[in-house]
Chain A
């Protein structure tokens, strides 16, 4: 495996950890999404309690050249609240499924956040000055008696302590019968898609009372339902192209220029299965939990239960690379089915080009270098939290004699899952979410 040191290998060091130390995790604190903005200056998290916390990287300190700026809390707000579907007597969870940032156009920052049913556009703006010297109001806001006003003055702006305000600018509701799993902003920066289990809708960021359905895989008879949509993403450069993945392990690429309803794919990516290997678990573990384009848009990465696959958009019949995340779990599928872990939805992310990262159990996360074909397993743990100390690679012993410092499969803690990770768009800084803590790691700078 990828050892410490050697050539261009990145050496990861602990930088920060956010969140409560205690083991007793409140449901609301479970982190459900992590996303850097386009510059990497801001890092947003969403949780099961419907809250968004945004961290901002502080300006680089000239005296502390050995580390990049730390991330500190910038803004926090309640994005979604629990709701009730009266027709079906079902509760609508406030859990934030995804956050996606818009590219910055002016002083304010905008992000889309979504729960199962409703997408919201939030504006995050700074206020560092306020007007003082009104004619009709006192400084504390009380209105002055107009008869006491004898002279006029011009109010002026005076500096004040920085206040960061979040306000909902658009609410995109009532367009999804099923649960939203993805949102993706188009490269035209005007439209975005939202995908639920059976349908994908196209929205304009300015228009909330209408959305266009562009994919509908609901069968006329629900008894015939065989697959659901698990993730969707717009191509990073081609504004009419998007992909969606399914619970059967396929990815469909669609072109909106071909027809208004993209039920017929332009490309279908599917790896042929060896029928002799088929088992009860085959379909479940082939379900794709995440799909992400590379920055160039030439490749896309998919995550299924046991592996990460890289696909070349020019080749539909098989992935160009497959990386095993935790193959040792294949002989534990029975118990993983019983404890529902087999349905865990792991995400994956790129550094943009040649390194991919994804989470696993026991608070382990994995990185694969596409060039060197080497991989590493690291752990997000408070025990390793000395800044600038390089993280020690971990190793799981699948069978046989366990070496020193290895951990056996049966000792893995399946409640400690890393489902969400994010990579800074420009630097080697990564954000890794454990159940209720956010870890930030960066590469060792000399």
Chain B
């Protein structure tokens, strides 16, 4: 009876996990928090870098061409920038509205 009860009502966190896995079956294939952590360390707007571009092209000779945006984990040389990756222009600096 005890196991039956447990199967019926998953704790809310596990129910949410099941929902997520149903939507994104490939999630969590890589070990643990690695993905989040690398993404966190990489935070920041990346611009086109011709050095990166050429190094990535050189590596492509050995591997298959990756789709844009897939290998954002690596810092330099492995990501071929695409027009979608190029950032918006920054707005000009004015006085804060808190001081208005």
Pair B76/A280 contact, Cβ less than 8 Å: no
In chain B, positions 14-48 with a C-beta closer than 8 Å to chain A are: 14-17, 19-21, 23, 27-28, 32-34, 36-38, 40-41, 43-48
**1/0 contact string of A6-46 vs chain B (CB within 8 Å):** 00000000000011100000111101000000000000010
Q: Confirm or deny: A223 has a beta carbon within 8 angstroms of a beta carbon on chain B.
A: yes
Pair B99/A331 contact, Cβ less than 8 Å: no
Q: Confirm or deny: A266 has a beta carbon within 8 angstroms of a beta carbon on chain B.
A: no
Name the CB-closest residue of B to A285: B13
Pair A332/B98 contact, Cβ less than 8 Å: no
Pair B16/A281 contact, Cβ less than 8 Å: yes
Pair A247/B33 contact, Cβ less than 8 Å: yes
What's the Cα separation between A197 and B43 when bound, in Å? Answer: 11
Pair B17/A26 contact, Cβ less than 8 Å: no
Known: A89-B48, A90-B46, A283-B33. A19 touches B13 (CB 8 A): no
In chain A, positions 81-126 with a C-beta closer than 8 Å to chain B are: 81-82, 84-85, 87-93, 116
Q: Confirm or deny: A179 has a beta carbon within 8 angstroms of a beta carbon on chain B.
A: yes
Q: Confirm or deny: A189 has a beta carbon within 8 angstroms of a beta carbon on chain B.
A: no
Q: Confirm or deny: A337 has a beta carbon within 8 angstroms of a beta carbon on chain B.
A: yes
The distance from the CB of B76 to the nearest CB of chain A, in whole angstroms, is: 6
Pair A51/B96 contact, Cβ less than 8 Å: yes
Known: A49-B96, A197-B41. A89 touches B87 (CB 8 A): no
Name the CB-closest residue of A to B92: A28
What's the Cα separation between A169 and B44 when bound, in Å? Answer: 28
**1/0 contact string of B1-18 vs chain A (CB within 8 Å):** 000000000011111110
Pair A197/B40 contact, Cβ less than 8 Å: yes
**Cβ-defined partner of B34 (8 Å) among A197, A225, A334:** A225
What's the Cα separation between A303 and B17 when bound, in Å? Answer: 22
A-B contact count (CB 8 A): 135
**Cβ-defined partner of B36 (8 Å) among A76, A81, A282, A284:** A284
The distance from the CB of B41 to the nearest CB of chain A, in whole angstroms, is: 6
Q: Confirm or deny: A178 has a beta carbon within 8 angstroms of a beta carbon on chain B.
A: yes
What's the Cα separation between A247 and B35 when bound, in Å? Answer: 13
What's the Cα separation between A348 and B27 when bound, in Å? Answer: 31
Chain B residues with Cβ under 8 A from A343's Cβ? 36
| Interface range on chain A (Cβ under 8 Å from partner) | 35 or more
Chain B residues with Cβ under 8 A from A331's Cβ? 12, 15-16
Q: Confirm or deny: B100 has a beta carbon within 8 angstroms of a beta carbon on chain A.
A: yes
Q: Is the interface of A mostly helix, strand, loop or mixed?
A: mixed
The distance from the CB of B78 to the nearest CB of chain A, in whole angstroms, is: 12
Q: Confirm or deny: A73 has a beta carbon within 8 angstroms of a beta carbon on chain B.
A: yes
Pair A18/B13 contact, Cβ less than 8 Å: no
Q: Confirm or deny: B90 has a beta carbon within 8 angstroms of a beta carbon on chain A.
A: yes
**Cβ-defined partner of B41 (8 Å) among A31, A226, A228:** A228
Chain A residues with Cβ under 8 A from B12's Cβ? 330-331, 333
Pair A20/B97 contact, Cβ less than 8 Å: yes
Known: A228-B37, A283-B33. A50 touches B93 (CB 8 A): yes
Chain B residues with Cβ under 8 A from A216's Cβ? none
Q: Confirm or deny: A344 has a beta carbon within 8 angstroms of a beta carbon on chain B.
A: no
**1/0 contact string of B64-100 vs chain A (CB within 8 Å):** 0000000000011000000000010011011111111
Known: A26-B91, A436-B97. A91 touches B17 (CB 8 A): no
What's the Cα separation between A78 and B94 when bound, in Å? Answer: 9
Known: A20-B97, A47-B96. A226 touches B34 (CB 8 A): yes
**Cβ-defined partner of A78 (8 Å) among B34, B87, B93, B100:** B93
The distance from the CB of B58 to the nearest CB of chain A, in whole angstroms, is: 17
What's the Cα separation between A227 and B91 when bound, in Å? Answer: 35
What's the Cα separation between A54 and B52 when bound, in Å? Answer: 42
What's the Cα separation between A78 and B90 when bound, in Å? Answer: 16
Pair B47/A49 contact, Cβ less than 8 Å: no
Name the CB-closest residue of B to A76: B99
What's the Cα separation between A245 and B93 when bound, in Å? Answer: 34
Known: A88-B76, A225-B37. A280 touches B20 (CB 8 A): yes
The distance from the CB of A97 to the nearest CB of chain B, in whole angstroms, is: 12
**Cβ-defined partner of B11 (8 Å) among A93, A227, A248, A277:** A277
Q: Can you add 17 more A-B contacts, CB < 8 Å, to A28-B91, A283-B33, A333-B17? A: A27-B91, A51-B95, A73-B98, A89-B48, A90-B45, A90-B47, A91-B45, A93-B44, A222-B38, A226-B33, A247-B37, A282-B13, A283-B32, A284-B33, A330-B16, A333-B12, A334-B16
User: Would you give 13 A-B contacts (Cβ < 8 Å), ordered by A?
Assistant: A76-B99, A88-B46, A88-B75, A89-B52, A90-B46, A91-B47, A179-B43, A197-B40, A279-B16, A280-B27, A330-B12, A334-B17, A337-B20
Q: 8 shortest A-B CB distances, which residue pairs?
A: A89-B49, A331-B12, A91-B45, A333-B16, A279-B17, A90-B44, A334-B19, A20-B97
